[in-house]
Amino acid sequence: MAEELVLFDLPSKDEAGNRAWSGNTWKARIVLNYKNIPYRTRWIEYPDLAPIFASYGIPPNPASTKDFAYTVPVVKFPNGDYLMQSYAIAQKLEELWPEPSLRLDSDSYHKAVAVLSKIDSALAAETRPRVPKNILNPASIEYFERTRSERFGMSLTDLSKSDKAGDNAWAAAEPGLQALKALLTENSSGPYIDGDRVSYGDLVLASSYVFMEMLDKDMIKRFLGYDDSIQKHYDACKKWLERSTF
């Protein structure tokens, strides 16, 4: 394998440190970091994803899904093949670089996704409006605000001022946070979901921590402070979050 592996990711503005920020792209980046696989990052702004990926001949997401036609992460493997969608990428990386294992046979991944889905939907009015304000470059702001406004049925400004924001958002997230605490304390040998063994589910959870951390320092502090098990899990995964700028 002569060529290097390339991860396509969304950039952040210089004021945010030009670091990887998207929880979705981090699901691939953190696997590469965890497995210590050599790679380089190619940064692409939101409006450029579809034309660039289409030009590479990458099949679009199925029309039946709620996703956009083209999304990140995308990985170009050393043999020249492209792959989109984080779980498919994780499966391929596990096949090509089996150690250290992601333990994809564990049900921790599905449990993590279920928990994060509850939290993410509840906190959307707090998180989404912060993305263009705190993270995005000008090239991506209009695209993000337009597409997310279509999704939520109102502008992001209105969403941030709605009754779904503020303390109401955190109250709505309470069941999800309780579920996260239960997930991380189910195995007393911790700090991971399956106790002392890392699995892909742990890396998916850690990817969501970066997103909140990039959005707002007070937000990640409140999130991690919900229960000591969440802080311990973050600390245990932090070493795989260090490579974020290249």
Where in the chain are the domains?
5-96, 108-240
pLDDT digits (tens, 9 = 90+) for 70-115: 999 999 999 999 999 999 999 999 999 999 999 999 999 999 999 9
Residues above pLDDT 90, as percent of the chain: 93
pLDDT band, residue 139 (cuts 50/70/90): very high
pLDDT, averaged across the chain: 96
Averaged pLDDT, 140-165: 97
pLDDT band, residue 18 (cuts 50/70/90): confident
Give the closest residue to 70 by CA, choosing from 57, 56, 80, 84: 84
Containing H/E element for 26?
helix 23-35
| Number of H-type helices and E-type strands within the chain | 11, 4
The yes-or-no verdict on residue 174 having pLDDT over 80 is yes
Q: Which tokens go with 149?
A: 């406004």
The yes-or-no verdict on residue 2 having pLDDT over 60 is no
Residue 228 identity? D
pLDDT digits (tens, 9 = 90+) for 198-237: 999 999 999 999 999 999 999 999 999 999 999 999 999 9
* 3-class secondary-structure state, position 71: coil
* 3-class secondary-structure state, position 41: strand
The yes-or-no verdict on residue 63 having pLDDT over 90 is no
Q: Does domain 108-240 have CATH number 2.40.50.100?
A: no
Cβ neighbours of residue 22 under 8 Å, at least 6 residues apart?
A: 9, 10, 72, 211
CATH number of 5-96: 3.40.30.10
The yes-or-no verdict on residue 1 having pLDDT over 50 is no
